[in-house]
Amino acid sequence: MDEEDPPTGPAVYLLVLEFDRPHDVSVGSLGTIHIGEGRYVYVGSAKRGLWGRVRRHLGEPERKRWHIDHISHLADRRTVFWKEYDPGLECGSARSLGEIHEGVKGFGSSDCGCVSHLFFISPFEA
């Protein structure tokens, strides 16, 4: 698939969020979570189409429906990687990331058995 031709249908995506400063954010049922300075990756799926979901992450949604809605607009930089939807790919990716990176417990995983769908990947170099 060409970079210029992302799927218009269902997709699984990685949303890379870069924060230049820390944030303490109230995230619904999770309470207040700390987002430190650095790079995070969120694993999600867009079963009704990728572009609507990406547009949501690039702005500040009026209604915060998902955990990610509480933090994506605070990121200083956002990058999206995607693959056409495949059952099991979202949670499989989250489990794989959780084996090597620290997850924010319960984030994005209230509807599955994963520990998290948001992971701290790396601090910024000084």
What's the pLDDT tens digit per position in 18-29?
999 999 999 988
Q: Between 58 and 69, where is the model more confident?
A: 69
Q: How far apart are CA 111 and CA 47, in angstroms?
A: 14
| Res. 124: pLDDT tops 80 | no
Residue 4 lies inside a defined structural domain of this protein: no
Inside any domain, residue 95: yes
Strands (E) in the chain, as ranges, are 11-19, 23-26, 32-35, 38-46, 77-84, 102-103, 118-122
Give the amino acid at 13.
Answer: Y
Percent of the chain predicted with pLDDT > 90: 72
- Is residue 67 in a domain? yes
Specify if 19 maps to a domain: yes
Asked if residue 94 is part of any domain, the answer here is: yes
Domain count, the chain: 1
Q: Is 2 inside any structural domain?
A: no
Residue 99 lies in a domain: yes
Asked if 20 contacts 96 with a C-beta cutoff of 8 angstroms, the reply is no
Q: Which range of residues forms the domain containing residue 110?
A: 11-122
